């Protein structure tokens, strides 16, 4: 009995202890929530040209729009979608009608309620030629939006379009305030009105001030808290010079930066700055190989290049090791990425040499350059001067020379580069493209209709009915597994034919100062500053 | 003075044709993502491109585009920026106060530092002060502004932590950009002031002034400096224009707003009307300051008159 009593007392006190701990725990986390806040100062590449996600596409501008605009649905992983502004949705069996039911408690920053009419107004405005929207392609074969009730609407398509859900989760199709479209007119572009956790406050010179949206209470699952954002204010200060951007982190004039000087990232990490790296979905940084021009019209030569270029070394030297080697057209973070390509061309210079011998290119006169029928093995490389493009191309050029190519490189401005692409006078060009859904990039890079057109993107210059068919099937397959299988087949096909020289998966590097906590990114590597607080 | 009109016409014609000689369709450049140098993230149809072309007036013959440009420019309308969806005149005027502030601060640095170094050197030619002053001047002339800017950020913002790295936000934020911008000019002013002073101090009227028993400071500041200033003012006037265009680099390095930074983006983004507007604007500044310099001569030296 006594024993029993003691046990009871012990368990009671244990219970009390647990309860107390739980209480203190709760109060600690409450206190933390109350304390979390602060001001984030972002040393930014350039002043935003537009804050209107329905119209403008710029990468750095879209990172700002993500803070101001919510999408209908949220994508926590490639091909996965969860509710955001839309509480639920349904896709018809024929893939032509997408019916959405919106949350009923959402308002835009100007107080306008979010309802079906607002969504319809957003898409109608995008389609209006007056708006000159560059994002209208995100709607695909769009027919119309039908308002079914206060919070219910249907998007009608003229043919199935699998990328629609991915596009609906991006900023491009995020609803804007119809009242603000009317009221602000041309000024809307630089003072846009969405439903997001931060809202436009003011411009000071080239610096943009966003304020916390105090009414925000519709964060999607997976964000770290409910209610409004922690940060009171975000300041995007334009600092165009990369070296100065790095310094502002040290002087405390900024506590977050992007587009760092890659060579300095490691030393900043040692000094206690946090390095955030996100690998993005889309088309890998690659060199499309022109299959219409000799000698890369020969499959053996193209395969030799893929075996003979040491891609790990390229990544180490050019990207300071801050990226993964790419083996196929799609990056690892893309929907439908197939790891099978990783086994196809591992670095093997001897194999490369053997393939070139087999193709009839031999260095008979001993000058280091292979010949066939009295012609040197030439490789014409073209690149436009931007970021690491030039250094990358020079390194690949040196590697080609080691394989026995007489490799020439023309580094020009984008205009001249685009002209060469149009003329088809190159063996190796350049491509990379961050995109949530693989369809658009694969279509642009490999579909037969994209071989011509001026600075076009099918820089492999391939017109192949087998590829066209796979791309068309991938576009309309609404079943995720079926769609992934189609893209797996396409990736293997592209690499079997050695159509591109993939170099690395695009990665996105952000640096933060100590004291900045909670930073996470979405699939497109856009920062989700809702989750951030500054100590 | 009537020469200013053909000068301005010539400048705008040159800029106008240069941008139109590019081998690529501006509409393609317009929809390119300027941050990554790649295509926009959505399908853009030919029809959309044609709409854009018509909207921007790029479908008209080039001579027509030029004449309409000049006609509008005369009325203060420099066209719409391709990229910002705002009139160029408005964009330039918005950013102008920042550049003027920086230019004036740079000019003050040039004149202040230049005069002090020049007078010190000129009064004691070939002394150690003179040599030191001219060493600083030679250093200043030889150093590119962006390098000086980055070095000063490194020392004063990063190492000593006494001044901010960015050029906006507080009054002291203007110090580093002003020095980066004005230092080169101060070297020119210093060398010119020095040689002027050296020559003038040998003049008879200086001997006369001294013989009258005037204190040396009055001799130097009232008699010598006044005459030494004439060549200096010419340079300072020209300097104003070049400082204004030099702001292009300084503003970028220090993350300052201004018309220079605006122009850099305009060039990178092939924003035709913006670049044209900027160049025309700078040309007007040059012409106007030259005019003002001419008028200043008369004020300083009554022997110079204008017919």
Please compute the mean of the pLDDT values over residues A244-250 and round it to a whole number. 93
What does each C-alpha distance from B60 to A200, A484, A509, B74, B84 come to in angstroms? 38, 47, 44, 20, 22
Q: Are residues A405 and A440 in the same domain?
A: yes
pLDDT at A417: 86
Examine the pLDDT at B229 and tell me if it is beyond 90: no
| Co-location of A232 and A330 in the same domain | no
- Cα nearest neighbour of B170 on chain A: A253
Cβ <8 Å between B28 and A455: yes
Whether B172 contacts chain A with CB within 8 A: no
pLDDT at A534: 95
Any idea which of A258-267, A476-485, B102-111, B228-237 has the lowest mean pLDDT?
B228-237
Q: Sorting pLDDT into bands at 50, 70 and 90, what band is A26?
A: very low
Can you say how many angstroms the Cα of residue A191 is from the centroid of all Cα atoms in its chain?
24
A69 & A169 share domain: yes
Look up the CATH number of the domain holding residue A66.
3.40.190.10
Q: How confident is the model at residue A21 (pLDDT cuts 50, 70, 90)?
A: very low
Co-location of A139 and A259 in the same domain: yes
Mean pLDDT in residue range A157-175: 94
Please judge whether B28 and A138 are an interchain contact, meaning their C-beta atoms are less than 8 angstroms apart: no
CATH of the domain at A447: 3.10.105.10
> Residue A412, class by beta-carbon neighbours within 10 Å (0-12 exposed, 13-18 middle, 19+ buried)?
middle
Q: CB-CB: which of B41, B86, B265 is closest to A46?
A: B265
Helix (H, G, I), strand (E, B) or coil at B33: strand
A394-431 pLDDT, tens digit each: 999 999 999 999 999 999 877 788 888 888 999 999 99
Kindly state the DSSP code that residue B157 receives in the 8-state scheme: I
Asked whether residue A3 is assigned to any structural domain, the reply reads no
Chain B residues touching A433 at Cβ < 8 A: 38-39, 41
Express the helix, strand and coil content of chain B in percent, nearest 5 each: 75, 0, 25
Closest chain B CA to residue A164: B42
CB contact under 8 A, A244 and B165: yes
Residues 6+ apart with CB under 8 A from A405: A369, A370, A377, A378, A379
Phi and psi dihedrals of B122, rounded to 5?
-70, -30
Between B229 and A502, residue with greater pLDDT: A502
pLDDT in tens, B81-127: 877 778 899 999 988 999 999 999 999 999 999 989 998 888 888 89
B99 to chain A: nearest residue by CA? A205
| Average pLDDT estimate for B233-242 | 80
Which tokens belong to B49? 């491109």
Instruction: For chain B, give the percent of residues with pLDDT over 90.
Output: 14
What pLDDT is stored for residue B62 in this prediction? 83
Tell me the average pLDDT of chain B: 82
Task: Say how many CB pairs under 8 Å bridge A and B.
Answer: 143
**pLDDT tens by residue, A121-164:** 999 999 998 888 888 889 999 999 999 999 999 999 999 998 99
Predicted pLDDT of residue B41? 41
- pLDDT reading at A359 higher than 90: yes
Predicted pLDDT of residue A24: 47
- Comparing A179-193, B38-52, B65-79, B271-285, the range with the smallest average pLDDT is B38-52
> A49 pLDDT exceeds 90?
no
Are A241 and B158 inside 8 Å of each other by CB? no
Better-scored residue on pLDDT, B15 or A461: A461
Q: Supply the pTM of this predicted model.
A: 0.82
Mutate to test the interface with B, among A57, A63, A236, A237 (most CBs of B within 10 A): A57
Q: Kindly determine whether residue B28 and residue A237, on different chains, have CB atoms separated by under 8 Å.
A: no
- Work out how many domains chain A is built from and give that number: 2
Mutate to test the interface with A, among B27, B32, B47, B166 (most CBs of A within 10 A): B166
| A71-80, A212-221, A453-462, A471-480, range with the lowest pLDDT | A453-462
Q: Are residues A467 and A342 in the same domain?
A: yes
CA distance A247 to A445: 39
Q: Are residues A380 and A252 in the same domain?
A: no
Same-domain check for residues A439 and A410: yes
Q: What percentage of chain A carries pLDDT values higher than 70? A: 93
Q: What is the pLDDT of residue B35?
A: 46
User: What does the alpha-carbon distance between residue A362 and residue A354 come to, in Å, rounded to a whole number?
Assistant: 10
Q: Are residues A208 and A336 in the same domain?
A: no
Residue-by-residue DSSP string for A124-174: HHHHSGGG--S-GGGG-SEEEEEE-SSSEEEEEESS--TTHHHHHHSGGG-
Instruction: Count other C-beta atoms under 10 Å from residue A185's C-beta.
Output: 9
Tell me if B43 and A239 make a contact (CB, 8 A cut-off): no
Domain assignment of residue A123, given as a range: 9-278+510-534
Q: Inter-chain contact A248–B40, Cβ cutoff 8 Å?
A: no
Residue A2 lies in a domain: no
CA–CA gap between residue A479 and residue A482 (Å, rounded):
5
Angle of CA points B257, A198, A203, to nearest 5°: 20
Q: What pLDDT is stored for residue A25 in this prediction?
A: 46
- Residue carrying structure tokens 């906590």: A517
- Range ranked top by mean pLDDT from A198-202, A436-440, B213-217, B298-302: A198-202
Q: For residues A94 and A64, what is the distance between their CA atoms, to the nearest angstrom?
A: 36
| A114 min Cα distance to partner chain B (Å) | 25
Distance from the Cα of A178 to chain B's closest Cα (Å) equals 20
Domains of chain B with bracketed CATH: 4-75 (no CATH), 91-300 (1.10.3720.10)
Residue A8 has pLDDT above 70, yes or no: no
Question: What are A367-390's pLDDT values in tens digits?
Answer: 999 999 989 999 999 998 877 899
Q: Give a yes or no: residue A4 inside a domain.
A: no
Largest CA distance in chain A: 105
Given CB atoms, is B45 within the 8 Å cutoff of chain A? yes
For residue A434, give the chain B residue with the closest CA: B41
Q: Mark yes or no for CB contact B35/A247 under 8 Å.
A: no
- Note whether residue A142 is domain-resident: yes
> In terms of domains, do A240 and A269 share one?
yes
pLDDT of res. A233: 97
- Residues in A closer than 8 angstroms to B24, CB to CB, are 414-416, 418-419, 454-455
> In terms of domains, do A226 and A101 share one?
yes
pLDDT at residue A332 tops 80: yes
Q: Work out the pLDDT band at B286, boundaries 50, 70, 90.
A: confident
- Among the partner-chain residues A58, A134, A415, the one whose CB lies closest to the CB of B34 is A58
Query: What's the count of helices (H) and strands (E) in chain A, helices before strands?
Result: 15, 24
Residue A486, in any domain of the structure: yes
In-domain check, residue A1:
no
Q: Give B-chain residues touching A202 at CB under 8 angstroms.
A: none
CA angle A56, A59, A60 (to 5 degrees): 105
* B22 has pLDDT over 70: no
The C-alpha atoms of residue A275 and residue A269 are separated, in whole angstroms, by: 6
Taking contacts as CB-CB distances below 8 angstroms, the residues of chain B near A418 are 23-24, 28
pLDDT tens string B128-186: 989 988 888 888 888 888 889 999 999 999 899 899 998 887 888 999 999 999 988 88
Best of A44, A130, A137, A457 to disrupt the B interface by mutation (most B CBs within 10 Å)? A137
Over residues B26-49, the pLDDT tens digits come to 676 666 654 444 444 445 667 777
Task: Establish if A496 belongs to a structural domain.
Answer: yes
Identify whether residues A219 and A323 lie together within a single domain: no
Asked whether residue A468 is assigned to any structural domain, the reply reads: yes
- What pLDDT does residue A173 have? 96
What is the SS3 assignment for A205?
A: coil
Q: Regarding beta strands A507-512 and A274-279, do their DSSP bridges make them parallel or antiparallel, or are they unpaired?
A: antiparallel
- Cα of A49 to nearest chain B Cα, Å: 6
Residue A465 has pLDDT above 50, yes or no: yes
Chain A interface includes B50 (CB < 8 A): no
User: Are A196 and A114 in the same domain?
Assistant: yes
| A282-288/A500-504 β-pairing | antiparallel
Which chain A residue is nearest to residue B163, measuring alpha carbons?
A251
Residue A414: list chain B partners with CB under 8 A. 24, 29, 32, 37
Give the minimum alpha-carbon distance from A205 to chain B in angstroms, rounded to a whole number: 6
Cβ contact (<8 Å) for B40 and A237? Answer: no
Contact between A238 and B22 using a beta-carbon 8 Å cutoff: no
pLDDT digits (tens, 9 = 90+) for B54-90: 877 778 888 888 888 888 888 888 888 877 778 899 9
Spell out which residues of chain B touch residue A434, defining contact as CB-CB under 8 Å: 36, 41
pLDDT of residue B218: 85
DSSP H or E stretch at residue A434: strand A431-434
pLDDT of residue A2: 44
pLDDT at residue number A440: 85
Is the pLDDT reported for residue A5 higher than 60?
Answer: no
pLDDT of A497 over the 60 cut: yes
Query: Of A39, A187, A203, A248, which to mutate for an interface test with B (greatest number of B Cβ within 10 Å)?
Result: A248
pLDDT the model gives residue B306: 59
State chain A's mean pLDDT as an integer: 90
pLDDT at A130: 83
């Amino acid at each position: 009995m006594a024993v029993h009593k003691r046990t009871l007392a012990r368990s009671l006190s244990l219970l009390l202890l647990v309860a107390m701990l739980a209480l203190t725990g709760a109060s600690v986390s409450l206190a933390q929530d109350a304390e979390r806040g602060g001001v984030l100062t972002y040393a930014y590449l350039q002043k935003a040209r537009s804050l209107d996600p329905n119209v403008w596409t710029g990468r750095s501008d879209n990172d700002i729009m993500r803070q101001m605009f919510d999408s209908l649905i949220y994508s926590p992983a490639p091909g996965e979608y969860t509710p955001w502004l839309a509480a639920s949705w349904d896709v018809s069996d024929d893939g032509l009608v997408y019916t959405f039911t919106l949350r009923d408690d959402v308002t835009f920053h100007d107080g306008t309620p979010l309802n079906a009419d607002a969504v319809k107004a957003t898409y109608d405005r995008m389609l209006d030629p007056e708006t000159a929207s560059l994002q209208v392609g995100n709607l695909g074969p769009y027919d119309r939006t039908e308002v079914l009730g206060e919070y219910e609407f249907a998007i009608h398509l003229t043919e199935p379009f699998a990328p629609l859900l991915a596009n609906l989760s991006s900023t491009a199709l995020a609803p804007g305030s119809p009242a603000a479209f009317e009221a602000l007119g041309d000024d809307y572009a630089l003072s846009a009105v969405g439903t997001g956790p931060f809202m436009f406050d003011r411009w000071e010179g080239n610096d943009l001030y966003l304020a916390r949206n105090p009414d925000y209470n519709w964060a999607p699952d997976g964000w770290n808290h409910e209610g409004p954002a922690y940060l009171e204010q975000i300041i995007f200060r334009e600092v165009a010079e990369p070296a100065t951007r790095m310094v502002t982190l040290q002087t405390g004039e900024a506590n977050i930066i992007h587009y760092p000087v890659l060579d300095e990232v490691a030393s900043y990490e040692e000094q206690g700055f946090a390095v955030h790296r996100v690998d993005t979905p889309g088309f890998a940084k690659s060199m499309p190989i022109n299959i219409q021009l000799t000698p890369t019209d020969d499959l053996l030569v193209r395969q030799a290049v893929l075996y003979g270029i040491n891609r790990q070394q390229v990544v180490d030297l050019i990207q300071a090791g801050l990226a993964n080697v790419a083996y196929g057209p799609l990056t690892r973070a893309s929907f439908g990425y197939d790891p099978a390509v990783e086994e196809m061309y591992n670095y093997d210079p001897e194999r490369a040499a053997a393939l070139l011998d087999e193709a009839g290119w031999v260095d008979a006169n001993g000058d280091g350059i292979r010949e066939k029928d009295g012609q040197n093995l030439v490789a014409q490389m073209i690149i436009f001067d931007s970021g690491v493009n030039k250094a990358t191309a020079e390194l690949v050029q040196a590697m080609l020379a080691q394989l026995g190519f007489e490799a020439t490189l023309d580094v020009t401005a984008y205009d001249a580069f685009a002209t060469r692409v149009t003329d088809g006078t190159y063996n190796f060009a350049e491509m990379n493209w961050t995109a949530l859904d693989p369809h658009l990039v694969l279509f642009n890079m490999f579909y037969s209709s994209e071989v011509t057109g001026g600075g076009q993107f099918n820089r492999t210059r391939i017109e192949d009915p087998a590829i066209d068919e796979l791309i068309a099937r991938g576009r309309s397959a609404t079943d995720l597994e079926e769609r992934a299988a189609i893209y797996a087949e396409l990736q293997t096909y592209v690499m079997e034919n050695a159509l591109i020289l993939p170099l690395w998966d695009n990665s996105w590097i952000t640096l933060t100062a100590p004291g900045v906590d909670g930073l996470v990114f979405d699939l497109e590597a856009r920062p989700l500053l809702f989750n951030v607080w500054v100590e | 003075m009537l020469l200013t009109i053909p000068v301005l016409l010539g400048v705008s014609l040159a800029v106008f044709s240069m941008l139109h000689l590019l081998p690529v369709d501006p509409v393609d450049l317009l929809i390119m993502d300027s941050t990554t140098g790649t295509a926009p993230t959505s399908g853009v149809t030919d029809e959309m491109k044609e709409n854009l072309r018509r909207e921007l007036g790029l479908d008209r013959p080039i001579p027509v585009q030029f004449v309409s440009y000049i006609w509008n420019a005369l009325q203060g309308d420099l066209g719409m920026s391709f990229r910002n969806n705002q009139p160029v005149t408005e964009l330039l005027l918005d950013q102008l106060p920042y550049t003027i502030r920086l230019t004036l601060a740079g000019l003050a640095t040039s004149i202040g530092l230049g005069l002090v170094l020049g007078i010190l050197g000129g009064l004691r030619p070939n002394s150690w002060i003179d040599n030191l002053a001219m060493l600083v001047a030679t250093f200043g002339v030889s150093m590119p502004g962006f390098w000086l800017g980055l070095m000063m950020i490194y020392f004063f913002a990063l190492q000593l932590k006494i001044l901010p790295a960015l050029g906006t936000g507080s009054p002291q934020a203007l110090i580093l950009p002003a020095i980066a911008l004005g230092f080169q000019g101060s070297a020119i002013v210093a060398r010119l002031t020095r040689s002027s002073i050296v020559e003038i101090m040998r003049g008879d009227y200086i001997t006369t002034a001294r013989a009258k028993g005037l204190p040396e400071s009055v001799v130097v500041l009232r008699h010598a400096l006044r005459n030494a200033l004439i060549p200096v003012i010419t340079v300072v006037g020209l300097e104003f224009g070049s400082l204004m265009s030099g702001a292009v680099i300084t503003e970028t390095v220090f993350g300052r707003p201004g018309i220079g930074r605006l122009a850099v983006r305009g060039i990178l983004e092939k924003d035709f009307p913006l670049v044209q507007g900027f160049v025309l604007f700078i040309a007007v500044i040059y012409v106007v300051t030259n005019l003002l310099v001419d008028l200043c001569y008369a004020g300083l030296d009554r022997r110079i008159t204008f017919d």
